[in-house]
Amino acid sequence: DQQVKQNSPSLSVQEGRISILNCDYTNSMFDYFLWYKKYPAEGPTFLISISSIKDKNEDGRFTVFLNKSAKHLSLHIVPSQPGDSAVYFCAASGTGANSKLTFGKGITLSVRP
């Protein structure tokens, strides 16, 4: 049972445009959400996170939006650059005994020059 869902396996975007990567979750105990980025032949690296008490967190070109009522979050990359081409994993965690990261399947972003 997939508790963190990234339903689109891939996304292709023109350089300079906005990339929007979506993620849905089913577990209402999740209260912290993260995005990881992964290049080929490397391990995932932390990109940005958001706590459930917020609905937006911004870090440079990257913004994560959280809609708790819809159990949905999205990562916006503006403007997209070819170096952003990678696999992006959405992850979620609860607290205490539920503080285990649960990952989605990942989405492959391709930014065309």
Partner 1 sequence: EAQVTQNPRYLITVTGKKLTVTCSQNMNHEYMSWYRQDPGLGLRQIYYSMNVEVTDKGDVPEGYKVSRKEKRNFPLILESPSPNQTSLYFCASSLSRNSYEQYFGPGTRLTVT
- Which chain residues interact with partner 1 by CB under 8 A? 4, 6, 32, 34, 36, 41-46, 49, 89, 93, 95-96, 99-101, 103-106
If we measure between CA atoms, which residue out of 18, 12, 38, 14 comes closest to residue 106? 38
Q: How far is the CB of 54 from partner 1 (least distance, A)?
A: 14
Q: How far is the CB of 67 from partner 1 (least distance, A)?
A: 20
Compare residues 62 and 103 and give the one whose CB is closer to partner 1: 103
Compare residues 43 and 83 and give the one whose CB is closer to partner 1: 43
Q: How far is the CB of 16 from partner 1 (least distance, A)?
A: 29
Compare residues 14 and 99 and give the one whose CB is closer to partner 1: 99
| Residue spans of alpha helices (H) in 21-87 | none
Answer whether 6's CB lies under 8 Å from 69's CB: no
Strands of 72-77's sheet in order across: 4-5, 19-25, 72-77, 62-67, 56-59
